[in-house]
Structure 1
């Protein structure tokens, strides 16, 4: 019999057989394991302390967050869609089993040969009573928690879908969401006001549209996990098999655009993470958050030498045509600068001004 590595997850102070320990095992069994979900081989016990241990598949590449950061600029869209297809398959199995993950973020997705959802210890039935203290406890990583849950609503499959939308963005960009600001009550407030990570130039429009649906402020407007799996399955195989259609053209164009903009992996940009950006799960407790809304996206089209008449003060001009989705920000915010990626002979604005235009700055 050949040897292979496994991961041992020890539950501290579990000698008295905490029911929570077996929740994760039962969730693994109920969801079926296999593609998209971490495999659970069984349980053991630490001989000295008596603490129980879950024996799991060993994901040699670590968690998804680390994997993406280590492979910044090196993943094409076939690889990214493959990762998301596997995650969507695992999430669909969880929801098909009548469960909700409740702590769904890239740190709880492990990357071995495939991407697999792990840490099912906080999964719970989707039909828990709304008065249940268990289902109202907010525990997670703030950027991935849906706005309705931040306001004290119960966890539902739709709250996992919101988290999946944030993970979609992270897989696209290979950086954690909202890494440049504190994960505090102000961020929770902005999320409820409609703030989301910005969609970058290398993100194909079909992908952007699906991401926007996943993190819609209205849980009823989000797609379900089965639709996500079917969508990513088709996108992945169409792109991999060289099928020519509007969707694959968008992803191929995005790959080309990224290759023109990205620096070599050896000189990848240095990102500074805010000291209060916390990517480990913790209890979250915020009060007086507003009713969640979608960002009032505006489509801004500016042609050559046409002034932006919504800017207060002296007029400025942009000398190339562009069309961008802008993101909500409270009217009290100030845009420190607007910078467009210039093409040859282009001019771009870099002056400070106050505006009521939506923006993502914090």
Structure 2
């Protein structure tokens, strides 16, 4: 077994964010996109893409935690899903089958995390899991407060589109990121290159807040809500107003400890959310802790 000394991407971002140039961010994302494309070419999807499952090893990023890897268009028993809620695509939270587009959505959240240096949804406390689930399904996405290139923002918005059919394929991710990487590396002074150069110049104006000192969700087992297609939830591309506006932001979970203490991001707790009595479960969360998840592929 290969040992990865530098840990996962989450730790790498936490320890190196202030030194990350845009070409390095693109290089990291390109590695992830290539890994996803290799998985998707086999007809499978990963189902649980997040920075804790991406290993940083000697300058490269490897996709790990393949335990949920399986065919597309397959769902789990009782509409259960496993993963970190803030990275879950809205259709999965609605109980829909897994497709390759689920991984593209997770990739978009990783894009936002490597851009901002913070885990997704860490600005406003939420009282329970239901709030986060409904807000994601209602179109809320992570807030970006730093300068980002327009081309990068456009791709990110496409990747986390509420409609899975509007998201790009992994091949398009590889093509776009490869183009940007080459233009930056070769210093072409093209429009795209200048966008990234400008963003790099603005790095010193980025957030001064402590990074990764927030209570966040960990990968867990949840039962998806029975929202369906007629739940009144609407999403518009205009709901995301860019990184400079006061777009509603979320925190993943209410904190029960000081924000000055960093969470052990490698611990995974298994939590089950009952489909028919989600709210009742939330009131009695301590009484329901499942052990295993059996999925049908």
Query: TM (normalized to structure 2)?
Result: 0.75
- Match runs of 1:218-229 below 5 Å: 218-229=163-174
Tell me the distance in 1 between the aligned counterparts of 2:82 and 2:240: 36
Q: CA deviation at 1:59?
A: 1.7
Tell me the distance in 2 between the aligned counterparts of 1:217 and 1:223: 12
Aligned pair partner of 2:67 in 121, 146, 171: 121
Tell me the distance in 2 between the aligned counterparts of 1:245 and 1:65: 32
The structure-2 alpha-carbon separation of the partners of 1:212 and 1:262, relative to structure 1 and needing over 3 Å to count, comes to closer
The structure-2 alpha-carbon separation of the partners of 1:60 and 1:191, relative to structure 1 and needing over 3 Å to count, comes to same
Gaps of 5+ in 1: 1-54, 301-322, 330-362
Contact 1:145 1:159 in 2 (8 A): yes
Tell me the distance in 2 between the aligned counterparts of 1:223 and 1:71: 29
2:235 corresponds to: 294
Give me the CA root mean square deviation.
Answer: 2.4
Q: Which has the higher strand share?
A: 1
After superposition, what is the alpha-carbon deviation per residue over 1:5-43, rounded to whole angstroms, capped at 9, x for unaligned? Answer: xxxxxxxxxxxxxxxxxxxxxxxxxxxxxxxxxxxxxxx
1:319 corresponds to: none
The structure-2 alpha-carbon separation of the partners of 1:143 and 1:127, relative to structure 1 and needing over 3 Å to count, comes to closer
Please give the secondary structure, in 2, of the residue aligned with 1:110. Answer: strand
1:327 corresponds to: 247
The structure-2 alpha-carbon separation of the partners of 1:291 and 1:83, relative to structure 1 and needing over 3 Å to count, comes to farther
The structure-2 alpha-carbon separation of the partners of 1:272 and 1:62, relative to structure 1 and needing over 3 Å to count, comes to closer
**Residues paired across the two proteins, number:** 242
| Larger relative contact order (Cα-Cα within 8 Å, sequence gap ≥ 6) | 2
Query: TM (normalized to structure 1)?
Result: 0.62
Contact 1:147 1:292 in 2 (8 A): no
Tell me the distance in 2 between the aligned counterparts of 1:161 and 1:328: 22
After superposition, what is the alpha-carbon deviation per residue over 1:198-223, rounded to whole angstroms, capped at 9, x for unaligned? Answer: 23331111111110000000000000
Tell me the distance in 2 between the aligned counterparts of 1:273 and 1:285: 28
Tell me the distance in 1 between the aligned counterparts of 2:8 and 2:93: 25
Contact 1:199 1:208 in 2 (8 A): no
In the alignment, does 2:14 pair up with 1:69? yes
Tell me the distance in 1 between the aligned counterparts of 2:222 and 2:66: 19
1:354 corresponds to: none
The structure-2 alpha-carbon separation of the partners of 1:140 and 1:246, relative to structure 1 and needing over 3 Å to count, comes to same
In the alignment, does 2:104 pair up with 1:161? yes
After alignment, is 280-289 or 95-104 more displaced?
280-289
After superposition, what is the alpha-carbon deviation per residue over 1:325-357, rounded to whole angstroms, capped at 9, x for unaligned? Answer: 56368xxxxxxxxxxxxxxxxxxxxxxxxxxxx
Tell me the distance in 2 between the aligned counterparts of 1:299 and 1:145: 18
Q: CA deviation at 1:184?
A: 1.2
Larger Rg: 1
1:230 corresponds to: 175
Aligned pair partner of 1:170 in 110, 113, 116: 113
Q: Which has the higher helix share?
A: 2
Gaps of 5+ in 2: 250-297
Q: CA deviation at 1:270?
A: 2.0
The structure-2 alpha-carbon separation of the partners of 1:203 and 1:292, relative to structure 1 and needing over 3 Å to count, comes to farther
1:192 corresponds to: 137
In the alignment, does 2:24 pair up with 1:79? yes
Q: CA deviation at 1:137?
A: 2.5
Tell me the distance in 2 between the aligned counterparts of 1:178 and 1:85: 24
Q: CA deviation at 1:237?
A: 1.4
Tell me the distance in 1 between the aligned counterparts of 2:30 and 2:13: 16
Tell me the distance in 2 between the aligned counterparts of 1:299 and 1:188: 17
